Structure formats: structure tokens, C-alpha cells
Amino acid sequence: MKIVAVCGSLQATSKNLMLLVTAARVSPPGVAVVLFDGLGDLPHFNPDIEANGVPHSVLRWRQALAESDAVLIACPEYGFSLPGVLKNAVDWVIGSGELEKKVVAITAAVPASERGRRGLQALGDTLSAVRASLVGGEPIPLGPDFERRVTTLMHELIETVRRTEAI
């Protein structure tokens, strides 16, 4: 099973990136968590850009999604919403379909449990445009239970993919 991991933050020391690294480390054998690090390379979404050929960065993003069984997104909250770079990435695949009905786990690494919920709600709303099958949706506070909660989310994501494939 291949899960593409996407960090909604471009910050090099992002706690959300740390969450994705933790997810890769705690994943069981047979599950590959592959970090997609190209969100910052995507041009601003504009359908006219494709008239001259699809940019390499967009092709790379679409291919990563198409080759995955599921997606794990760690999404910080910016201004009570999702980061623009993440919204832009979703916009690039709404028409082409690589996220259509895909199993997608969403979460956020947060300093306190009451943080991050609006960003995750906005991300969930955006992913409804591609009818993604959402898993999770709760922020994961940094602290002693962090790794256990990431592990639980990964098990839920993996089991959802398996159930979806069995249908």
C-alpha cells in the first residue's frame, strides 16, 4: 500500500512535517508513506496555463496522487482556514480527477487540542469538491500521546483503504 503524505506548510521545521515523518515511522510493514515535497513548486492555479502544456510540477503532483492508494495531509491552520498552497494543490486536481473519491486522512499537529479545527474544517470542505473519503479530521496535540494518536490515525487510514478496496 502506498500513501502519499502532504504537508500543508512549506516551513522547513514544520510540526506538521514532523507528524508525517512520525506517520512513516509507525506505519506497519507493507505500507509505504511517501512524502510529496512539491507543493511550493506548483504555479498559481489557472486553467489557461494548461493550454501551453501542463507544467512539470503539476504533472509530478498528479502522478504522485494517481500512484497512491491514499493520502495523508497534515494541515496547519492559517487565518482560520487552510494554507493557500494546499488549496492551490487541490485546485490543480479537481478537473483532472486524481483525488476523486480517494481515501484522504486529514489532521494537524497543534500545540493545544482546541487549535487547528477551523483549518481542518476548511480542508474537509475543499476536499468535498472531489468527493474524497475523509478519515480523521481531528488535530493531534503535541505531547506525550502524539505518537500514539498518529499511529491510531494511520491504522484507521489503512483499514479504510482495505475496506474500500474490498468493495
Q: Is residue 33 part of a domain?
A: yes
Within-domain flag for 52:
no
Predicted local distance difference test score (pLDDT) of residue 114: 86
The CATH number covering residue 157 comes to 3.40.50.360
Residue 141 lies in a domain: yes
CA 131 from centroid of its chain's CA atoms: 14
Q: Which domain holds residue 27?
A: 2-47+57-166
> How many domains in the chain?
1
Q: What is the pTM of this model?
A: 0.97
The pLDDT tens digits along the chain (167 residues) read: 999 999 999 999 999 999 999 999 999 999 999 999 999 999 999 999 999 999 999 999 999 999 999 999 999 999 999 999 999 999 999 999 999 999 999 999 999 988 999 999 999 999 999 999 999 999 999 999 999 999 999 999 999 999 998 87
| Whole-number pLDDT of residue 113 | 85
Residue 155 domain-assigned?
Answer: yes
Do residues 109 and 5 touch, judged by C-beta distance below 8 A?
no
In a domain, 128, yes or no: yes
Taking the C-alpha atoms of residue 163 and residue 142, their distance in angstroms, rounded to an integer, is 30
